[in-house]
Structure 1
């Protein structure tokens, strides 16, 4: 569920502000109205089915089982990420890669839900649901993650879209960035810390804020509470989306601790909106979609959500994996919500067209008066200042000759 804006474009090369703004709005709507409901639907379905099928008469045992599944599964995928990356790639076998990668996502998503359900229910068994207990656990999580510069790991849709890109599909970033090829014992400890400590603290925060909303937002009227959460959550997210240019400009002028604290405050506000959106969708599914047959409701929602996300190419939005550092992006990008979908697709297509046109000028007789020029390669999304190794002045001349804006 986490993402980064590092390396993503600020604008489309050759397109005006109006065009880019339109695509940005479409991306945000796509994230809020399609990706987020599908992700919430999947999580709600798996979580509820685990409640139904796994030792329903003993919440403690059920929670321990989910915790073990989540912990062991996370560690397995962290430890063997390089093995998966080395054996499965579309250049080797495209069909096999597609099948294995999507099976990987489905299995990892199941593990992620259990990795949250286990600690969540363990807290429910051993702590009270009063405001004091919730405030303590939430505060501990917030202070600890802020101290470690890891608060951004609470992010999820609709504030994040994670695309199913080939590059880094099986990669899981750990807290201390110790490479797999490094000392094995240190890498294993890094994996355990990333999953057990950072992951559990994130659950502390989500659970605390979620149940606080249960307590204070129409606690005796589930329908009004669900509708209130949806309205409140989407209103906060909409305001944050609108204010992004202002927030980014402010963050760009700050530095050091002030910049970090400002980014963390923005993340907390995003989290409040996100939790309300999740809670509203979750409760609406419970209330309105086959309430008399919860098992069928969950299986339908799970299947439709998973298949739709896979077909759309953003099924990795289901996963809670990797540890990202607060404000690691340059300038004000650390407060940009990484909801990139159409922008990445259109930018890649545009660069392909530029690459194709420039190949027409690759012949020596057409490049007699041009020095230090190279063909643009489409290896990813690049910023406008990074032209893939092309000399800026010569590149400008070529693009003008190719009638490329």
Structure 2
């Protein structure tokens, strides 16, 4: 289904949230009630959204050699090429913030609070102006200019997320008890709260399960369940901002912190190399298992016995919780290796700010060349995959990259043919 919202003289596709296709949850019901409360009348008025159910758009390719190649290669490229670069960017930015926070200026608690709300103000500006930026970039003709603005936008969002997470994580580290059991209980409560609010813990799952492709369609407009025909766009974006950047982000930090601390306590706490290696050796098999079995799980959950007793949601939530814990294992494994063998280099010890900035820009530059720098913070809205390779998590970077390259080649081929077919006229003096 292709929904559109009118914007001046053209139709703007409605940004779907990453997991909007899932069954109706508590948040979805809340949105429906909110919509009725805001606009209880005018139910007969035509909507400004139009639906185009073209077969070409909904067509899913389920066979073919190309599909098999994408299916095999995508998790491998995501796990071993793109994911370590994402870790490098995040950890360099995180360590940069930690070094600065440890200075006399950053040591005061008010600085952490100011950093947190500074990040939130940036996010508020991004949420409220996403449609304007989307429309503006669509009007531009110079691809290089569009690419520069898009990458700058991605860099701002990525660094803002780092500021948000570091400030809140540090506040919890400094001003709450360090007892691992208490952290674990808080983490379980946070996980339960996410499931209660959304209906599933998908929003806790990140790279390498979820990757993005640098594009205006996926990285500018933030998918929102609040954006309906009876709710003003700005109000919908504001509600989405409050819900995700204050509620879900806080619960995510608490869930990650407790799970991470649990591994620090019990997984070779005195041997960083063994601890990191164990995290990776456990995490990668789980990652590939969960990636390659998504379609089979969907088929099993569609069996009548699971649908009748509503076991499918239980199975999905177990899968998502396993994927979340796999993310913690993989991130922690690379994080420890970075702290042990890279952050202890001479340049890092003598000039930490310069070292971490260099690491951030190197990783961001390589990811930009690969057209997946936006994977640092994930796709902002749903990425359609015509092969439906991984139905649980948006991970169609390779497909999007191939389609873009194919489109560019087709345009170049057409242009060259037009040049060859142009009539040649000779002016006779």
Query: What TM-score does the superposition give when structure 2 sets the normalisation length?
Result: 0.72
Q: How much does 1:350 deviate?
A: 6.8
Q: Is structure 2 residue 261 aligned with structure 1 residue 211?
A: yes
Checking the alignment, whether the CA contact within 8 Å between 2:301 and 2:312 is kept in structure 1 is yes
Corresponding position of 1:239? 289
Q: Distance in 1 between matches of 2:237 and 2:150?
A: 24
Per the alignment, residue 376 of structure 2 pairs with 318
Partner of 1:141: 190
Q: CA deviation at 1:155?
A: 1.4
| CA distance 1:228–1:189, shift in 2 (3 Å) | same
- Distance in 1 (CA, whole Å) between partners of 2:81 and 2:209 is 12
Shift of the 153–249 alpha-carbon distance from structure 1 to 2, 3 Å rule, reads same
User: Which position in structure 1 is the counterpart of 2:340?
Assistant: 287
Shift of 1:232: 1.4
Residue aligning to 1:157: 207
Does the 8 Å CA contact 1:194/1:322 hold for their aligned counterparts? no
Alpha carbons 2:211, 2:397 under 8 Å: kept: yes
8 Å Cα contact 2:213/2:375 also seen in 1 = yes
Measure how far apart 1:109 and its partner are. Answer: 0.5
Report the CA distance shift for 1:288/1:188 in structure 2 as closer, same or farther (over 3 A): same
Of 251, 265, 269, which residue of structure 2 is paired with 1:201?
251
- Bigger CA drift: 178-187 or 278-287? 178-187
Matched with 1:36 is: 83
* CA offsets 1:293-328 (integer angstroms, 9 cap, x no match): 43254233212110011111111111167588xxxx
Matches within 5 A, 1:80-119: 80-89=129-138, 91-119=140-168
Q: Deviations over 1:352-380 (max 9, x none)?
A: 999999xxxxxxxxxxxxxxxxxxxxxxx
* Matching residue of 2:300: 250
- Cα gap change, 1:203 to 1:323, in 2 (>3 Å): farther
List per-residue Cα deviations over 1:105-145 (Å, max 9, x = no partner): 11111001111112211211222222321122212211111
* Residue matched to 1:271: 324
Using the size of structure 1 for normalisation, the TM-score is 0.76
Distance in structure 2 (CA, Å) of the matches to 1:160 and 1:92: 30
C-alpha distance in 1 between matches for 2:152 and 2:410: 35
Q: Which residue of 2 aligns with 1:339?
A: 395
Judged with a 3 Å threshold, the aligned counterparts in structure 2 of structure 1 residues 101 and 351 are, in CA distance, closer, same or farther, namely: closer
Partner secondary structure for residue 167 of structure 1: helix
What is the alpha-carbon distance in structure 2 between the residues aligned to residue 103 and residue 157 of structure 1?
21
- Give the SS at the match of 2:153: helix
Residues 186/290 of structure 1: CA separation in 2 closer, same or farther (3 Å cut) = closer
What is the root-mean-square deviation in Å for CA atoms of aligned residues? Answer: 3.3
Contact 1:153 1:323 in 2 (8 A): no
Q: Summarize deviations over 1:138-169 as a string: whole Å, max 9, x none.
A: 12211111012252111111101111123243
- The change in CA–CA distance for 1:183 and 1:40 in structure 2 (over 3 A counts) is closer
Using the alignment, how far apart are the partners of 2:381 and 2:103 within structure 1? 32
